[in-house]
Structure 1
Amino acid sequence: MTTVNANEIALGIESFGDDDAPLVLLAGGTTMLSWPDALCERLAAGGRRVVRYDLRDSGESTTADPEAPAYTLRGLAADAAALADALGGGPAYLAGIGVGGMVAQVAVLDHPGAFSALTLVGTRAVAPGPPDDDLPDHDQATMSRLFARPMPDWTDREAVAEFAAAGAEILGDDPVAARAIAARIWDRTPGTAPPIQMANQMGMVFSRLDCRPRWRERLPEIEVPTLVVHGRRNRFFPVGNGEAIAREIPGARLLVLKEAATAIPDAAVGEVTEAMLTLG
C-alpha cells in the first residue's frame, strides 16, 4: 500500500498484477477494503492491473474533518478521474461499491474520457436522504436495529470489530468476515477520534456530503459497457435500486447475487470476477 497525489490530495492505494496490464480502478466504499482481497487477486490473474483506493477521509487518503467535509460528491468523482490519469495507461475500467458506486456513476458522467468500462456494486442513483418514489428505501426494521445500537469505544480495537460483526449480522452479511475487515480498517485508521473512526468504519462522512446536482436523469448518457451487481438480500439499498440503474444505463448487464446482502461474499467472488473480466 502507498499513496498517490491526485486532484491535489493524497489517495491511499493498493496495487495487484502487472503494471503494464489494463487498469481496473476500484473505488472504496469508503475504504479500499470494501473490495475483497480474493476479487482483486483474481482480476489480476485475469490479466488486469488492479488498484483499489480509499476515498477521502478514510484509510491512507487525506483525512481532514469528516464531520464537515470541504468537498462534494463531484469532488470525489474528480478524484477518481485524476487518479486514473496519475496511474497512466489510458482510459481505466472503474468500479465502485456502495457509496463508491455513487462516486463511480458521477465520475463516468463528468469525466467520460477517463474511463472505458463501469461496474456498480450494491449502490443506488440518488443520495443522500430518501430515494425517489419509484425506488425502494432502506428496510426500516433493519435500520432501526442497526442504528439503535450504542457506539463502541473507538479506542478499543476488539470493541470496534465486535460492533462491525453485529452490524453485519443485522444486514445479512458474514459477521466473521466483517469482524476481520473491521480490525484491518481499525489498524489503518490514522487516529481513534470518533469522527475519524466512524468515517472509516461506517462511512458516516458520506451522509454529510453535498451530492447535488442530481445525476440519475443523466444515466442514459453513459456510453461505456456497464455491469450492475446487486445482492438480492441487500436491506440497505434493496435490489430495486440496482435494477433501476441497469434499466437506465443503455445496454447495462444486471447480475443479481441471490445469497448476497451489502458485501461481496466469498462464494460470489468467482462469479463477479468473471462478469467483470467479460465486460472489458
Structure 2
Amino acid sequence: MFTSQGKPVEGNDPMQPWAVLAFDHRERAFAAVRATGMTHDEIRLSKQLILEAYTLAVDRGLGQVQPGLLVDEEFGAPIAREAAARGHVVSMPVERASEAVFTFEYGSDYQQHLLEFRPTFAKALVHYRTTDTDQTKQTQLTRLRELSDFLAEQSIAFMLELIVGQTSGTSGPDGAVPTVDVDELCRSMAEIQHAGVQVDLWKVEGVSSQENAARVAAQAMLTDPLATCVVLGAGAPSDIVGHWLDVAAATPGFSGFAIGRSIWGEPVAAWLDGRLSREDAIEQIASTYRSCAMRYTGVRVG
C-alpha cells in the first residue's frame, strides 16, 4: 500500500491485505463489552492481554495477510511503544472519544503526540452524513483537511473511519445481513474528497454485496487511485463479520480489515469475570483473529 503522496507505507507489501486488530477504544466503548464495566486498571490489563494474543497469532502465521494493530495512547502507550520496538505496524487514533463532531484528542497538541509515536497510520473516526447541518460538516471538513495536510507533510498514512450508519442488506440463510448505507457512504466520501482531504485507507462499515462494495471502492479511488478500503467489525457477531469479510475479500479496492470487539470482546469480559483463564482468553482472541485473517485469503480455520 502507498500513501496519497505515492510513498510506500513502511513495512507493507502492497500486494498483501491488512489484518488489523483494533483495540484503540477508549473507556466507555472498551468497558461496554462487560456488563459491569471496567476500571482503568482493568482496561490497561485487558489491552496488554490483547497484545499478547495478537503476538501469539502472528507467531503462528497469518497466511498471505499483513498484521497490524490499532491502539490508543491513553490506555495503550506502552503497548504502542513495545509493538513498534518489535517491528509491528502500529496505528493510533487522533479523535476524542464519544464526540458527535470530530475533535482532536489532544487539541492543538495532537501533532506533537503523533510525532512522539510516529505510527504507520493515524486514524480519525468521524460520524458524517451529507444531511448534517452545514456548520457541522464545515467544522469536521476543516479539521480533517488540517489533519490530512499535516500527515502528508510527515509521511504518516491517513486512515479515516467513516461512520454513516447501516441498513438491511442482502438476505442470507439466517435473514438479512446488515450493510452500510452505501448511497450515503459514497456521497459522504465524495464531500470529504471534494474538501481536499487525502485519505489513504478508508475504514468502512460492512457491505453485504460485492456490487455495492465495488461502488465504495470506486469512490475511494476517485481522487486517489492508490486509496483502498478496509472493513470494520462494529461489534457484530461472527457470522455477520464473516460475510462482510468474504465480500470485501472478493472486491478489488478492498485491502483487508480492521476489527476489534468482534474478536476480543467476549474473551476479555469472560476473563475479567473469572469465566476464562488468562491463557484461554489469549488463546481465544488469537484464534479468532487468525481465523479472520486466514478467511480473508480464502482459508477456513477451525
Quickly name the TM-score band, shorter chain normalised: 0.3 to 0.5
TM-score scaled by structure 1? 0.34
TM-score by length of 2: 0.32
